Structure 1
């Protein structure tokens, strides 16, 4: 009997690791678009270069700052104390499988989705089947309401900025100032998101000041030494801005999304191998970050075209507004304790900034396709999770 239980546990652990690989790779391949689509679509940086920078900084973000989301996804959605350990292990396994399956489906359809939402829905699915009262419904409702407010909020901000500051953003004489202003906010947002509360505010402002000043000084020195004319200077600002913004957004993405895989896997590994959470988490974050990075490199281009080209025709000013608005929106949500919904923030910002140029600037067919996929995400992942949980429990 003991031998059979051990064999079952080994199988579950092996399947869990495989599911984690699948989910992390799928997450990277789909969500790379959130980070690079706007600048790639604006033709300020090459796609391959953007994906390479993204993959490196996602790993750094996951290793240095990725623990908070892992704790939320491992214990903050369902009351783990009220669920038997064996059921919890199977539940986390099916949550990863359900999420990975849906994210892969979205990537095949070239649609960006929130990977955090898919995992959240997967955990809710098995929680409903095991014990509906174990699901922390109050917290779940708040998270969903605030996350789905991201699209209209970021869209409204980007629309207003683009509508009333279009001349300023597109004027070659002021483009460097717009770049510095955006970089300041985005670097502050990135640091705040990865640290939190008062320390995050202080470090965020310091980081923003250092990066913005560095960009200004380095560019000025380079211009003086090379006697570059104003149009070459503008190109330099745009290129440097693109690299820095990708690095910053990737760092934040790695910090907030490494827990997508590490969270559910943390509960499984600590239960099966009897490891302390604190000792297992760093290795799992590294594992998650590397696999997300692999997904970005190998298939990240799949969804980039949808946000960067098909949704709307982007230019540099639209890219600046997109990142500015998405960062501001996500910063507000982070202050409210809601995990960053970068997919929704970036998509909403692109739509809003493009609508400022006219209704015809946005491909409404693509908008409908994205919104339909988002609407189906939660019910689909909940259903897949329930079915997989029932099947696994039936055969074990």
Structure 2
């Protein structure tokens, strides 16, 4: 086996390992609210994730890959020695995957985006020095890490407050839910459909303009509204003075709405976070193909498919611990609260994915869960767990950066 074949095989294995750990950590926390609210069992969550994650990665996943591949480190500095970039990207994948593996074992919902970007910056520093890192780009991503949980929290807070005022605070909550929920279904489907068709299906060469995409989205939303309206009308309304049954029946209605948003979250996650695994591999494949560094590289479908498959496999094998942290330990989750958190998180993630900004799904979702908790009062939040999560977030970048530096030096020593 020649060196190029060996490096390609090594890079593919590293990519699969990274994708599996993304599934174990990021998908687990994305689906955790559904499992925590008992809207889905663990097996059902895996099934939903399998379909939605794979679809998001395959159909929309190319948007962010370019940002991870060449957005943080200047590839032009490696033109004379492209194999240094190959070794660096492999080191970054392995370093990020190791950190995610450790975090998943401990039940910490850390950012896979933090992990891979910290690792890429780390190898760039040791390989070419401070000038190799595009600090302006890094700064914009850091800003997004602050904005995303805040935005997720605000959107989730507002949605849950709206649901509380329009449904749960009413004398007959079930009757109110039967009126309001179809409109929420309409909104979810309009946004989800628009995220798919408006400049979202480039991999299938279906790049529709905004007007056509909006028209299609409104039609899809209208169909979903009619179906939802007919389904909720079949739900029996308990006596208005039976508060317990009113609450249980209303949450039962939201259970199905949350399953829709669980798919929505998983699709958004596949679109945004598959880049964290396949972005570095795309750089390696392009260099090994012709020995040159290209500023723009087409993302092969087989790489996106492999990344999506690895994500689902990782969730199935060791995603339960992080799922428990997000779904049960931050705040008590019910279907209506889980819907609010998932809808807020997925909307923010999909918008940023369209912008090519690799935000953290973890930060956004945890921010959304906290936002829902704050809507019920500060006492409803487990502040100790939140502190542990925040500490793990701050540890991610320096850990992966230092580990990538060490792995790059080892790879260079033996293969450079």
Query: Same fold judged by TM-score > 0.5?
Result: yes
1:69-80 to structure 2, matched below 5 A, reads: 69-80=64-75
Superposed counterparts of 1:136-215, under 5 Å = 136-163=134-161, 166-170=164-168, 171-191=173-193, 193-194=195-196, 195-196=198-199, 199=208, 201-202=210-211, 205-206=214-215, 208-215=217-224
Partner of 2:133: 135
Deviation at 1:26, TM superposition (A): 0.4
Determine if the alignment matches structure 1 residue 110 to structure 2 residue 146: no
- SS of match in other structure, 2:290: coil
Structure 1 residues 269-310: Cα deviation after superposition (integer angstroms, max 9, x where no partner): 122233998676111111111111111222232311111101
Does the 8 Å CA contact 1:95/1:126 hold for their aligned counterparts?
Answer: yes
1:63 to 48, 58, 62: 58
- 2:300 is the alignment partner of 1:298: no
3-state SS of paired residue (2:2): helix
> What does residue 3 of structure 1 align with?
none
- Distance in 1 separating the partners of 2:209 and 2:365: 22
Q: Classify 1:203/1:73 alpha carbon distance in 2 versus 1 (closer, same or farther; 3 Å).
A: farther
Asked if 1 retains the 8 angstrom alpha-carbon contact of 2:15 and 2:93, the reply is: yes
Equivalent residue for 2:225? Answer: 216
Shift of residue 313, structure 1, vs aligned partner: 0.5
CA distance in 2 between partners of 1:298 and 1:219 (Å): 34
Q: 1:88 aligns with which of 85, 93, 99?
A: 85
Change (3 A) 1:181 1:100: farther
* TM-aligned CA distance change 1:316 to 1:204, over 3 Å: farther
The answer for the alignment partner of 1:97 in structure 2 is: 94
CA drift at 1:165: 5.2
- Which runs of no fewer than 5 residues in structure 1 stay unpaired? 1-5
Cross-structure match for 2:241: none
1:243 aligns with 2:259: yes
Tell me: CA distance 1:152–1:282, structure 2 relative to 1, closer, same or farther (3 Å).
same
Distance 2:299 2:338 in 1: 39
> Relative to 1, partners in 2 of residues 1:331 and 1:272: Cα closer, same or farther, differing over 3 Å?
closer
Residues paired across the two proteins, number: 389
Structure 2 counterpart of 1:262, from 254, 265, 278: 278
Return the alpha-carbon distance in structure 2 between the equivalents of residues 189 and 221 of structure 1.
21
For 1:357 and 1:71, how far apart are their aligned partners in 2?
40
SS at match of 2:175: coil
Q: Would the alpha carbon gap of residues 154 and 252 (structure 1) be closer, same or farther in structure 2, given more than 3 Å must change?
A: closer
Deviation at 1:113, TM superposition (A): 1.8
* Change in CA separation of 1:261 and 1:333 when aligned onto 2, cut-off 3 Å: closer
Cα distance in 2, alignment partners of residues 346 and 273 from structure 1:
38
Question: Pick from 250, 274, 287: which aligns with 2:290?
Answer: 274
- Provide, for residues 252-277 of structure 1, a one-character-per-residue CA deviation record: whole Å limited to 9, x for no partner: 22222222222111111122233998
Equivalent position of 2:243 in the other structure: none
| Bigger proportion of residues as helix | 1
Q: CA deviation at 1:206?
A: 4.5
- Hey, what's the Cα distance between the residues in 2 that align with 1:233 and 1:148? 37
TM-score calculated relative to the size of structure 2: 0.84
Structure 1 residues 193 and 124: alpha-carbon distance in aligned structure 2, compared to 1, 3 A threshold: farther
1:330 alignment counterpart = 349
1:341 Cα shift?
Answer: 2.6
TM-score of the superposition, structure 1-length normalised? Answer: 0.88
Report the more deviating stretch, 293-302 or 361-370.
293-302
